[in-house]
Amino acid sequence: MSESFLTDLRALIDVDASSGTRARYSSDAGLTRIPPLAVAFPRTPEQAIAAFDLARAHGVPLTARGGGTSCASNAIGPGLVLDFSRHMNRVISIDPEARTATVEPGCVGSTLQAAAAKHGLRFGPDPSSQNRATIAGMVANNACGPHATAWGRTSDNIVSLDCVDGQGRRFTATTSHDAALSDVPGLASLIDSNLAPIRTELGRFSARSPATPSNTSPPRAGATSPPCSQAPRGPSSSSCPSPCASCPCPTRPCSPPSATDP
């Protein structure tokens, strides 16, 4: 099956199934090693979708990969790895008036920051890996960073996402439900039947400081937004991979940055 899959895949997209590449892509910043079947490098959303469709037809697991900075082995898998960072890595446009940017999924965080800085703007989240981490990876992990207390997490700074789900349906994700997009069959019943463990056991971590947002900490009573935060708050959306994402760029802080402010 793998040979026929790779033969069909090579007709659609750049593919590397060499042992060296498979070894390099068998790990990310985590401790786990899982060699993939092959690595593909989409140049367009259409190529990525074609690879999605082929992998689904052959029953091959698919993993989207950006900079490989995940410490939780999110960027590795035994099937096909799609590396968006090689070709789909551009800042497509920036609208200074609307304070939004449209980027490809493999765009590195610091690349967007540099492009936004030319307009006196910045993208809110700034994780320590932002000079390697891609925007789609930041969406998938809901990345934060030292300035997330002022400008929010990645989910607080996303307007919309161009997505493809596991059934191959392409749609624009916002916080408004698209009535034309039907629910995934069986998903609601799966959630309902496991609601108790999802609520009580998923993402259990020790309490964090009220000043430190995280993906798992509940809202703290009496929390207020910092007075210098002027970021427009877009819909919270977290789906990956996304052929492109439109992200609001918050303004720089009201006061001049300190010497330690990156």
**121-129: average pLDDT:** 92
Please tell me whether residue 143 adopts helix, strand or coil conformation.
coil
In this predicted model, what pLDDT tens digit does every residue of 64-104 receive, in sequence order? Answer: 999 999 888 889 999 999 999 999 999 999 999 999 999 99
Q: What is d(CA 105, CA 66) in angstroms, rounded to the nearest whole number? A: 8
Tens digit of pLDDT for each residue in 55-71? 999 999 999 999 999 88
Calculate ∠ Cα 157-161-164, nearest 5°. 150
In this prediction, residue 203 has a pLDDT band, given cuts at 50, 70 and 90, of low
| Alpha helices by DSSP H, 11-108 | 19-24, 45-58
The total of other beta-carbon atoms located within 10 Å of residue 43's CB is: 12
Alpha-helical runs (H) found in the chain: 2-10, 19-24, 45-58, 109-117, 135-141, 148-151, 187-193, 195-201
Which tokens belong to 82?
């799609």
Nearest to 161 by CA among 149, 174, 152: 174
**Overall average pLDDT of the 110-138 stretch:** 94
Which amino acid is it at 250? P
In contact, 101 and 123? CB cutoff 8 Å: yes
